[in-house]
Structure 1
Amino acid sequence: MARAIAGLDAALAARLSPLSAARPVAAGRATEALFEEMSRLNNELSTAQRALAKANAELAASNEQKNRLMGMLAHDLRSPLQVIAGFAELLEDRVAGRLDATERSCLERIRESSLFMRHLVEDALSLASLEAGRLRLTRQPVDLALLARRNVAMNAVLAEGKGVAIALEAEEGLPQAMLDSGKTEQVMNNLLSNAIKFSHRGGRVRVGVAAGAEGWQRLSVADEGRGMSEAERARLFQPFTRSGTLGTAGEGTVGLGLYICRTIVEGHGGRIQVDSAPGAGATFTVELPVRGPAEA
């Protein structure tokens, strides 16, 4: 029996011997193939990375050219638009009593359209600066309530033309805040003109200025328009975002105003948010710090 087992072991060993010898060779070939595949993939990755870097550089150059073009066009459009709006207001003041209803309506259309175009130009200029990383804030003491009163007066004619009332509630005795006056007014104008745009005839827009938490002031603009869904609110402050609905008088938008508002407010270290529901109007709230970053 022992001899039989020994013979069986010898036979089995003889059969396995070639397989054992082949294993190192096969493993070596597999390793070599693996390294070759890894080298090929690394080369492809390097090529893709170089192509991506080139595409990014071309995209950055194209974006810079676009910003320069937008800036030049906006600057060139601003002056003639101001002239058109100025002469329209002058005509309205001087000859309003001698115009019939149709003529007055045409003159009002000229004035409103030039105002709308001027807002678009200002937004285009702001976008070009923001995308180029050039948001510069010139902070100075600003009376937020006074700024709101001035902005309400500026938009009064637009509101009257749509039959919309504007109510301003400004808390008395607020301290001046260290803000960029021009850019803060741009935020107010965007919010107020939007509120008028989406208000129905006979509606009311409420503007409020009050103290917020300690060291903060709060601006609010509320309308009684169609409101917004949760999905619309989620993308509202992104550039070129439009709700898909025109204003109540058919006014359009390019979807830049609220993006610019958010950027300006956050540049001040502030916050902007919206509270709205379908059919319930919209309330935009802006919170701004009273002191600048160096004073905080």
Structure 2
Amino acid sequence: MKIEDTRLMVIEGVDLLEHLQTPAVMVARGQVRFANSAAKDLLGAHIVGQDVRIAIRDPKAVAAILSETGGTARISGLSTGGSVWEVDCKVLPGGDRIVSLYDLSERVSVAKSHADFVANASHELRTPLANVIGYVETLMNPKAGGNEELRERFLGTIRHEAQRMQALISDLMSLSRIEAVKHEVPSDSVDMVQLAQEVAGEFRSSATIELVVNAEHAVIAGDKGQLLQVLRNLIDNALKYGKADGTVHLSVEVARTGWVLVMVRDEGEGIAPEHLPRVTERFYRADNSRSRAAGGTGLGLSIVKHIVERHRGRFDIDSRPGAGTTASLMLPLREN
């Protein structure tokens, strides 16, 4: 290939790179000769003219870039502390190199979340299953199985653990269904005042529920089944972790800004500040032993958060040790 043809290819390549949203640089004789706007935003405009070993301070990436045949390398922390990037180097005729940088952070994060989710779900199921198997094997022993008192106690434990697994599987399936439709905006008309009255009525036979509303109606575009699940989960949590025989406070407030605020407050011990940022994570528990004893699966607040986000709303948990916990959600009112 003639030198003029090679130069023309380089010029055309530079013009093409400038229009890419992917960060890309051109390296010649170990120096960065050109960087498109995306690369300058990522690495800084000062990299043009720098030695590539200074512009990209990663031995694996530099080795791939300076290799005679080019190559790829995965590096961490190029943009932010937890970011993951792939550096891909292609060698052009004449020896110049085009280096593209691909942000894999979201893909890696999603893959890690899925792996963690499977591991946590497996662990949560494995523990009660192991208990069930252990107690069943004990009951199969004629000596233990013939003891009526021991038999009743063991069967009660088996039933409890089976119900725990059943609740966990139910929540896992619920979370899966919610995620499957999370991009579909609900369109049915749902009156949050009416819904709150309905749910409060369900619990009043076994608990003290105080309901306060400031309007006759609060109609939103929503999925009634999912919103019922939200209120039931929040009231159930308030009863589990609130003060024994305490009151659960449920309120629905219509604001002039076009939003409806729904709050569920308990009178329990509250949650320590260090736990608050993580309470909506799947399987996260501020108090493992207390949550399991109360029958919690560790998925309730995660389900609530997903449903509220699907309704284009906001969900928040506010709590102080000794002062109870308040769960609040804001949902946009339906326009007339």
- Structure 1 length-normalised TM: 0.58
Maintained 8 Å contact 2:243/2:266: no
Match 2:315 to one of 262, 268, 272: 272
Q: CA deviation at 1:187?
A: 0.9
Q: CA deviation at 1:47?
A: 8.5
Question: What's 1:146 paired with?
Answer: 194
Match 1:126 to one of 171, 174, 177: 174
AA partner of residue 262 (structure 1): K
Unaligned runs of 5+ in 1: 1-30, 71-105
Maintained 8 Å contact 2:264/2:327: yes
In structure 2, the residue corresponding to 1:184 is in which secondary structure? helix
In structure 1, the residue corresponding to 2:72 is in which secondary structure? helix
Question: In 2, distance between residues paired with 1:42 and 1:208?
Answer: 66
Which of 1 and 2 has greater Rg? Answer: 1
Question: In 2, distance between residues paired with 1:153 and 1:256?
Answer: 24
Question: In 1, distance between residues paired with 2:318 and 2:280?
Answer: 13
Call closer, same or farther: CA 1:63–1:42 in 2, change over 3 Å: farther
Maintained 8 Å contact 1:274/1:285: yes
Question: In 2, distance between residues paired with 1:214 and 1:235?
Answer: 29
In structure 1, the residue corresponding to 2:293 is in which secondary structure? coil
Unaligned runs of 5+ in 2: 1-28, 31-50, 53-61, 76-85, 88-101, 122-154
1:196 maps to 2:244 = no
Q: CA deviation at 1:152?
A: 1.9
In structure 1, the residue corresponding to 2:221 is in which secondary structure? strand
What's the RMSD between the two structures over aligned residues?
4.2
- Structure 2 length-normalised TM: 0.51
Maintained 8 Å contact 1:207/1:219: yes
Call closer, same or farther: CA 1:249–1:134 in 2, change over 3 Å: closer
Call closer, same or farther: CA 1:131–1:147 in 2, change over 3 Å: closer
Call closer, same or farther: CA 1:47–1:244 in 2, change over 3 Å: closer
Question: What's 2:222 paired with?
Answer: 179
Question: What's 1:75 paired with?
Answer: none
Call closer, same or farther: CA 1:215–1:41 in 2, change over 3 Å: farther
- What is the percent sequence identity of the aligned residues? 29
Call closer, same or farther: CA 1:63–1:277 in 2, change over 3 Å: closer
Query: When you count helix as a share of all residues, which structure comes out higher?
Result: 1
Q: CA deviation at 1:172?
A: 3.8
In structure 2, the residue corresponding to 1:45 is in which secondary structure? strand
Question: In 2, distance between residues paired with 1:249 and 1:288?
Answer: 31
What CA deviation, in whole Å up to 9, does each residue of 1:52-91 have, x standing for no partner?
A: 99xx79x96x959x99xx9xxxxxxxxxxxxxxxxxxxxx
Maintained 8 Å contact 2:239/2:248: yes
Query: When you count strand as a share of all residues, which structure comes out higher?
Result: 2
AA partner of residue 260 (structure 2): Q
Match 1:45 to one of 68, 72, 93: 72
Maintained 8 Å contact 2:186/2:311: no
Question: Number of residues paired by the alignment?
Answer: 213
Residues 47-196 of structure 1 correspond to what in structure 2 (within 5 A)?
Answer: 120-131=168-179, 134=182, 136-157=184-205, 160=206, 164-196=207-239
Question: In 2, distance between residues paired with 1:136 and 1:263?
Answer: 12
Call closer, same or farther: CA 1:39–1:118 in 2, change over 3 Å: same
Runs of 4+ in 1 over 4 A off after TM superposition: 34-38, 41-44, 46-50, 116-119, 130-135, 245-249
Q: CA deviation at 1:170?
A: 2.6
Q: CA deviation at 1:264?
A: 1.3
